[in-house]
Chains A and B, each alone.
Chain A
Amino acid sequence: MPSSITFFFHIAAAVHLGVASANLFAFRKFHYLEHLAGVPLIVRQVFLVQNAYLMAVQFGLALLCAFFAGELTSGRPMSVAITGFLAVFWGSRVVLQLGYYDPSLRQANRLFDVLFILADGYLTAVYAAAAIGGLRL
């Protein structure tokens, strides 16, 4: 695996942090808390915990990309497994964005929509390249 891919992992770390911080912004922009006011407390709490956990996962992945880029591209079985899984993870997020979210909502929030597709697509490409490269080592 060429060492230059390390650079792309550092960009991926920044993308993860960007997506994580976008969640905070989305709370205000889309008024999640107001919309959740009509559901039972436990459902509201589950939503908030899921959001916090996914932000924590994004932060953890940012650390992974920033500090373990060399190991992620080492071709070791765990590295291939992790990057392969993350490629599927983020690839499926692109599919969800395109096929699950309401087209009218996407159109109304086109900037967010495009940014998410680009970010998730970039992460998919980097992790897939690392996994495939690792398999060839």
Chain B
Amino acid sequence: MASLIGQNLPTLVLLAAIGQLVLIVASLAIPRVLGWRAETAKLRPLTRQVFWTYAAYIWATNLSFGLVSLHPAWLLDGSPLAAGVTGFISAYWIGRVGIQFFYFDRSDAPSGPAVRLAEVGLVALFVYLAAVYSAATLFNLGRIGP
């Protein structure tokens, strides 16, 4: 099983790249769906500007993960840098899965089948990303082989 994963890791990382690039395009709709513009208008200017700056930089971070993953050979070369980068990305997405289930209060989030479907898709993507980058980290550390 570990060997099978190792053999297919380049393809899995490439799919992770595509997933993250789809995510950053789709996430452009989140402020509209959740009404962030109207909600943040209630904030003081500094807090509002910090909110949007944070959002932009999280978006850029996700973009960077997607772009670097378009080159699976870079992330799977067994170097310490590759292990460090994939380890960080895996921790990032594992944390995001945990936040989705244990922190976010979705009681006042929009409802309906489309939103529910989008949320399921989002969580499935986060789980996939966490799994693939964890496997890539283990591969770079020599714990699973091709």
A: residues with CB less than 8 A from B are 26, 30, 32, 35-36, 38-43, 45-47, 49-51, 53-54, 56-57, 60, 63-64, 67-68, 71-72, 76-79, 81-82, 85, 89, 92-93, 96, 100-102, 105
Contacts and interface: CB of A to CB of B under 8 A. Distances in A.
Given A47-B47, A81-B71, A101-B46, 15 more contacts: A32-B50, A35-B47, A36-B43, A46-B36, A47-B50, A49-B103, A50-B58, A51-B54, A57-B92, A78-B68, A78-B71, A82-B68, A82-B85, A102-B45, A105-B46
Interface in B26-56: 34, 36, 39-40, 42-47, 49-51, 53-56
A47 B54 contact: yes
What DSSP secondary structure best describes chain B's contact surface?
Answer: helix
Contacts of A43: 34, 36, 39-40
Most B Cβ at <10 Å: residue of A42, A51, A82, A92: A42
B68 A77 contact: no
Nearest to A53: B58
Describe A's contact surface by its main secondary structure: helix
A57 B91 CA distance: 11
Contact of B49 (A41, A51, A53, A100): A100
Interface in B60-83: 60-61, 64, 67-68, 71, 74-75, 77, 79-82
B36 A56 contact: no
B101 interface: no
Contacts of A46: 36, 55
B95 interface: yes
Given A81-B74, A102-B45, A68 B40 contact: no
A57 B46 CA distance: 22
B103 A45 contact: yes
Contact of A78 (B46, B74, B95, B104): B74
5 tightest Cβ-Cβ pairs between the two chains A and B: A50-B54, A78-B74, A71-B81, A35-B47, A60-B88
